[in-house]
């Protein structure tokens, strides 16, 4: 059985406080208790859901500079995996078709018990086994059944340990299956919103729940660690939203619940039906306009590209703007007519959050009704838990001077290490990773003049999964399967890091 890395037990009396979306740059990594206290002060200002999107905020966030990312020891951004894109397309199809039907019928959105039931029914039909008498032209019924079966099979080796994490934290163990609507339990699943792993955490939220990301490690991919973080997130959200699991699921899935918490400052007034009514009002206010503004960018190129972007014709845009020809200029403000397709485009980032609880409950319905836990019983993978073997190291120290950066300091220490041993083969970034980990520096940009940095470096080659496999005559694929959080099997592992090895 996989051990808990000496994490404190989570008692039912631990009532989570308000939270926030991001860590304060430069602060050391917070424990859960510190985190929960700190977030009570500033949680109302930022969201914590996996996708903190705001439908009514048009600000764009630019990607970090590549060199800055490297110096932080963070991995390069990855493209969304096909499995996650398929999940997102299904979300857009089921909730999207429901909302589009409403707009065409009444030009407004209705989010009530009937809508909830209709969505749950659609998702249940999608995940359930396709009936024998189902028409061949029906491509939606049973569409996700194979994915559900594959998910249950993937979870078999891990489900016992995962459920143990949920029980320990005080969350119903059946909620462990949240990984199915999230990713179909794909440990490497990567979404367009840059959420990753079986339980789909963004880097910012992962760090809040003490999942290590960066420096060759991504614990979002670890089945047990990410499950622990999921359970903690759900427990926090459950307490924050008046012991309402549906609201807890909505909070896990997105950032709209944060604005709702401002709207309903008294916790006792919060419930999922009220949340849907609040969302309904906001959405209908947002779409109740004749047109939207579009500022022409260099990447727009021409009116045809803009029209395709919104799913309308060039003629529609020209008529709305009283244009005599299709010439446009960078910086020009265009009116985009508020057709049903344009409204659906504008709503695209917020729709998934509207059907998330119904989707998950539909998955649980099918698991129970088809007795899938009997078809796919727990089959625990067998492994040992141990620390990365300790090897001979050499101590280095450096006092930070004015204007120093951590990357440059790592370069100096690497140079000094190379003078001590010709076998020293660590890269500058690997040296920086050792400095950060051993000095508990979460933000490499936050070091101060006079700070003394101390680091132990292996000068004659460190330990990697590849080396462990070679030295112990293990199959590298077995080590990689047991340690999906280790991004590169050739990467030098931190001294003392916990790993799993085959029994």
Q: What is the pLDDT of residue 16?
A: 32
Q: What is the pLDDT of residue 77?
A: 58
| Displacement of CA 56 from its chain's centroid (Å) | 21
24-39 pLDDT, tens digit each? 223 333 333 334 433 4
Q: What is the pLDDT of residue 49?
A: 56
Q: What is the pLDDT of residue 30?
A: 37
Q: How many CB atoms lie within 10 A of CB 306?
A: 20
Phi, psi of 96 (to 5 degrees): -65, -45
Q: What is the pLDDT of residue 241?
A: 98
| Rounded distance between C-alpha atoms, residue 347 and residue 256, angstroms | 13
Residue found under tokens 């070091």: 447
Domains of the chain, CATH where assigned? 85-285+349-375 (1.10.530.10), 290-337 (3.10.350.10), 383-502 (3.10.350.10)
Which residue from 113, 335, 95, 70 is spatially nearest to 216, judged by alpha carbons? Answer: 70
Q: How many CB atoms lie within 10 A of CB 364?
A: 17
333-353 pLDDT, tens digit each? 999 999 999 999 988 878 888
Q: What is the pLDDT of residue 113?
A: 94
Q: What is the pLDDT of residue 211?
A: 95
Q: What is the pLDDT of residue 356?
A: 95
| Rounded distance between C-alpha atoms, residue 503 and residue 486, angstroms | 19
Q: What is the pLDDT of residue 263?
A: 97
| Rounded distance between C-alpha atoms, residue 244 and residue 36, angstroms | 19
| Rounded distance between C-alpha atoms, residue 155 and residue 171, angstroms | 18
| Rounded distance between C-alpha atoms, residue 246 and residue 251, angstroms | 9
- 149: Cβ contacts below 8 Å, ≥ 6 apart: 372, 376
H-type alpha helices, 444-498: 465-472, 476-482
Length of the chain: 503
| Rounded distance between C-alpha atoms, residue 217 and residue 230, angstroms | 18
Q: What is the pLDDT of residue 264?
A: 98
3-state secondary structure string across 114-144:
HHHHHHHHHHHHHHCCCCCCCCCCCCCCCCC
3-state secondary structure string across 217-271:
EEHHHCHHHHHHHHHHHHHHHHHHCCCCHHHHHHHHHCCHHHHHHHHCCCHHHCC
Phi, psi of 55 (to 5 degrees): -60, -30
The answer to whether 234 and 248 are in contact (CB under 8 A) is yes
| Rounded distance between C-alpha atoms, residue 237 and residue 431, angstroms | 38
| Rounded distance between C-alpha atoms, residue 73 and residue 12, angstroms | 36
**Helical packing angle, 272-287 and 256-263, nearest 10°:** 100
Rounded alpha-carbon distances, angstroms, from residue 365 to 126, 217, 408: 12, 36, 56
| Displacement of CA 143 from its chain's centroid (Å) | 25
pTM: 0.79
| Rounded distance between C-alpha atoms, residue 251 and residue 254, angstroms | 5
| Rounded distance between C-alpha atoms, residue 127 and residue 353, angstroms | 19
Q: What is the pLDDT of residue 14?
A: 32
61: helix, strand or coil:
coil
pLDDT in tens, the chain (503 residues): 333 333 333 333 333 333 333 222 233 333 333 344 334 333 433 445 554 434 444 332 233 344 444 444 454 557 899 999 999 999 999 999 999 999 999 999 999 999 999 999 999 999 999 999 999 899 899 999 999 999 999 999 999 999 999 999 999 999 999 999 999 999 999 999 999 999 999 999 998 999 999 878 999 999 999 999 999 999 999 999 999 999 999 999 988 999 999 999 999 999 999 999 999 999 999 999 999 999 999 998 899 999 999 999 999 999 999 999 999 999 999 999 999 999 999 888 788 889 999 999 999 999 999 999 999 999 999 999 999 887 888 899 999 999 999 999 999 999 999 999 888 888 999 899 889 988 989 788 889 999 999 999 988 778 999 999 999 999 999 999 999 999 999 988 887 789 999 99
| Rounded distance between C-alpha atoms, residue 474 and residue 472, angstroms | 5
| Rounded distance between C-alpha atoms, residue 252 and residue 359, angstroms | 13
For residue 8 the two structure tokens come to 């404190």
Torsion of CA 487, 489, 495, 501, to 10 degrees: 100
Compute the Cα dihedral for 328, 334, 338, 341 and give only its sign.
positive
């Amino acid at each position: 059985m996989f051990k808990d890395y000496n994490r404190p037990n989570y008692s039912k009396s631990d009532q989570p406080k308000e939270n926030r979306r991001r860590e304060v740059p430069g602060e050391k990594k917070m424990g859960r208790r510190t985190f929960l206290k700190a977030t009570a002060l500033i949680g109302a200002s930022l969201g914590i859901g996996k996708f903190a999107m705001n439908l009514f905020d048009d600000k764009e966030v630019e990607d970090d500079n590549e060199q800055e990312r490297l110096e932080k020891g963070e991995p390069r951004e990855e493209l969304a995996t096909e499995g996650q894109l398929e999940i997102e397309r299904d979300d857009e199809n089921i909730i999207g078709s429901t909302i589009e039907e409403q707009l065409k019928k009444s030009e407004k959105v209705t989010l009530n018990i009937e809508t909830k039931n209709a969505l749950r029914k659609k998702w249940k039909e999608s995940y359930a086994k396709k009936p024998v008498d189902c028409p061949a032209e029906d491509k939606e019924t049973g569409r996700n059944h194979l994915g559900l079966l594959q998910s249950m099979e993937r979870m078999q080796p891990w489900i016992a340990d995962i459920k143990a994490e949920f029980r320990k934290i005080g969350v119903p163990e059946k909620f462990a299956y949240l990984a199915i609507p999230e990713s179909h339990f794909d440990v490497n699943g990567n979404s367009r919103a840059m959420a990753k792993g079986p339980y789909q955490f963004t880097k910012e939220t992962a760090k809040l729940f003490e999942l290590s990301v960066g420096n060759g490690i991504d614990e979002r991919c670890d089945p047990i660690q990410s499950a622990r973080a999921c359970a903690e997130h759900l427990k926090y959200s459950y307490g924050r939203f008046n012991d309402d699991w549906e609201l807890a699921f909505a909070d896990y899935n997105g950032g709209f619940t944060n604005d709702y918490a401002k709207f309903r400052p008294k916790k006792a007034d919060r419930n999922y039906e009220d949340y849907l009514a609040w969302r309904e009002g906001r959405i209908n206010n947002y779409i109740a306009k004749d047109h939207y503004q579009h500022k022409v960018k260099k990447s727009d190129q021409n009116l045809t590209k803009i029209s395709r972007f919104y799913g309308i014709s060039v003629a529609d845009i020209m008529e709305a703007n009283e244009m005599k020809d299709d010439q446009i200029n960078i910086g020009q403000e265009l009116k985009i007519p508020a057709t049903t397709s344009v409204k659906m485009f504008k709503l695209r980032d917020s729709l998934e959050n509207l059907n998330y609880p119904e989707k998950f409950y539909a998955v649980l319905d099918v698991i129970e009704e088809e007795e899938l836990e009997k078809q796919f019983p727990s089959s625990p993978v067998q492994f040992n838990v141990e620390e990365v073997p300790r090897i001979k190291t050499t101590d280095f120290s450096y006092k930070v001077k004015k204007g120093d950066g951590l990357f440059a300091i790592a370069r100096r220490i690497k140079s000094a290490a190379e003078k001590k041993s010709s076998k020293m083969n660590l890269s500058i970034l690997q040296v920086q990773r050792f400095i950060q980990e051993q000095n508990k520096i979460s933000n490499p940009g936050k070091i101060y003049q006079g700070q003394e940095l101390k680091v132990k470096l292996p000068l004659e080659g460190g330990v990697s999964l590849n080396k462990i496999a070679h030295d112990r005559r293990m199959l590298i694929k077995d080590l990689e399967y047991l340690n999906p959080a280790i991004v590169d099997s050739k990467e030098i592992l931190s001294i003392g890091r916990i790993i799993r090895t085959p029994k």
